[in-house]
Amino acid sequence: MQDMIERALSEEQRMMRNTIRSFVDREVAPFVKRNWEKEWDMKPENRPTGRLLEGAHGIGIRALGVPEEFGGTPIDPATEIQTFAMVAEEISRGDSGLCDKLTQIWKVSKLLAHIAPRHLQEKWFPRIAAEPHFLLAHCATEPRGASDRWLPYDVPEAMMHTKAVLQGDRWVLNGRKQFITNGYDASLFVVYATTKPGAGISKGTSSFLVPRETPGLTVQRCNETLGGRFSNSGEIVFEDCAVPKDHCLAQDDAMHRAAVYFRPGKIIVAAKNLGVGMAAFEATAQYVQNYVQGGKIIIKHQAVASRLADMATRLVSARTVLNEAVRALESRSPEADVLCNMAKLHASTEVFEVAKNAMELHGGNGVMLDFGVEKYLRDAAVFLHRDATVDICRFRIVKAMFPRTAGIYAGGD
């Protein structure tokens, strides 16, 4: 499978991949193994990843989305999506939580580069690029109707409950967000709010740049997750939270403007998922070729060999769909939206099965917390529910393929 990966990459991408793999094998994987108990500490500040962020900063991958003029790491625009996918997979092979932290920096930075006013870019990008612990968060998900944001039609029922009102020279935000990646730790938030009630989510939603120290912004708590626990998801409350008028990034059409990374975001989340699957497969392949049962290494038992073959096939299948989605997106194919949703959906379901097989092939060791294999299943389970659930992806795929006859999943009967 490694040859299949290498063939798709340029020489520059191969060099970057080798650097990242070395970082993961040398620092990330040992960190996860050493700190397995801290993963379960219910005080988020006790789940330490600062040194890993410093390591990622040191090899130049933390600020991939920041423009080069502000200190970001340059990558070829023609293959940018493929590069992000490659990096996400490799980091997630070490820990999907660390990858969650990093990918939010990349995605939000790309958004700010496209829509933020120049003076805000000049203020924030140098800090994002220079400070290893500086995290970004994208605040769209709310306690009610999270999946509505991803549905393929525009109905008032899907609008944000968080609202923003222009009062003089300030926008005042009120509402609540939850399940926000980096939400507990971020220094800078992009917040989505309704500004034209009843207009539909694509015509009445605006986005705002809100620094953490802004009065009225409260990080309420950490949303404790089953997997990816070295990334601290957060619940954010806005109570008369006022930001300057020029901190509105996109007025009324924010969801449309954010499309600059919604599709690439599906690619990245599928690649992160694939990284978890590859780690599970690599650990299992090594285990079954060394663990003895019934007088022989267990790969010689047909039932074990069959499952290992199934795991490999699922991973190659997920990678094939992912690569096709990358090609469609980079060539601006009309099929890109469908393929991006297929890549996310397929990786979610296939990698979960890979991780389940990995845990089961490790026998009793597979369910031991200190052994570390069960972590792959926990991390994989999260992907079934993030960046649109697998069922929402199915709805989007069918709606795109059969727009005239597909059902309506939100709004009035």
The answer as to whether 162 is a domain residue is yes
The predicted structure's pLDDT at residue 111? 95
The answer as to whether 125 is a domain residue is yes
Pair (263, 305) in one structural domain: yes
The predicted structure's pLDDT at residue 137? 98
Which CATH number do you get for residue 248? 2.40.110.10
Backbone angle region of 40, left / alpha / beta, with phi > 0 → left and psi within -120 to 50 → alpha: alpha
In whole angstroms, give the CA distance from residue 211 to residue 30: 34
In whole angstroms, give the CA distance from residue 2 to residue 225: 31
Q: Which two tokens stand for residue 56?
A: 């990622």
The answer as to whether 151 is a domain residue is yes
In whole angstroms, give the CA distance from residue 250 to residue 247: 9
Residue at a domain's end among 256, 271, 305: 256
Q: Mean pLDDT of successive 10-residue segments in the chain (413 residues)?
A: 74 94 97 95 92 96 95 92 96 97 95 96 97 96 76 76 97 97 97 94 94 98 95 97 98 89 90 98 97 94 97 97 95 93 97 98 96 97 92 90 82 55
pTM of the model: 0.94
The answer as to whether 156 is a domain residue is yes
The predicted structure's pLDDT at residue 152? 61
> 320-329: long-range contacts (C-beta < 8 A, 24 or more apart)?
321/270, 321/346, 321/347, 322/85, 322/267, 322/270, 322/271, 322/274, 322/346, 322/347, 323/8, 325/266, 325/267, 325/270, 326/81, 326/82, 326/85, 326/267, 329/81, 329/263, 329/264, 329/267
Which CATH number do you get for residue 26? 1.10.540.10
Cβ contacts of residue 411 below 8 Å, gap of 6+?
A: 153, 155, 156, 157, 158
Q: Which amino acid is at 332?
A: R
The answer as to whether 410 is a domain residue is no
Place of tokens 């191969």: 14
Pair (267, 211) in one structural domain: no
- Domain assignment of residue 331, given as a range: 259-401
Strands (E), 157-196: 163-167, 170-180, 188-194
Pair (163, 89) in one structural domain: no
**In the chain, how many domains are there?**
3
In whole angstroms, give the CA distance from residue 129 to residue 19: 19
Helix H or strand E segment including 233: strand 233-244
Q: Classify residue 2 as exposed, middle or buried by CB count within 10 Å of its CB (0-12, 13-18, 19+).
A: exposed
The answer as to whether 121 is a domain residue is yes
Find, among 153, 257, 167, 138, the residue nearest to 205 by Cα: 257
Scored b (16 or more CB within 10 A) or e, 241-278 reads bbbeeebbbbbbebbebbeebbbbbbbbbbbbbbbbbb
The answer as to whether 119 is a domain residue is yes
Pair (269, 195) in one structural domain: no
Residue at a domain's end among 134, 152, 180: 134
Pair (252, 352) in one structural domain: no
Pair (59, 152) in one structural domain: no
The answer as to whether 186 is a domain residue is yes
Tell me the C-alpha to C-alpha distance, in Å, between residue 41 and each of 36, 47, 164, 222.
Answer: 10, 7, 36, 12
Pair (177, 123) in one structural domain: no
Pair (142, 94) in one structural domain: no
What is the DSSP code (8-state) at residue 253?
Answer: B
Residue at a domain's end among 221, 256, 291: 256
The predicted structure's pLDDT at residue 124? 98
Pair (265, 379) in one structural domain: yes
In whole angstroms, give the CA distance from residue 180 to residue 199: 25
In whole angstroms, give the CA distance from residue 104 to residue 183: 10
The predicted structure's pLDDT at residue 231? 95
Q: Which amino acid is at 70?
A: F
Place of tokens 């991780």: 355
Pair (118, 164) in one structural domain: no
Pair (151, 119) in one structural domain: no
Pair (76, 102) in one structural domain: yes
3-state helix, strand, coil in the chain (%, to 5): 55, 15, 30
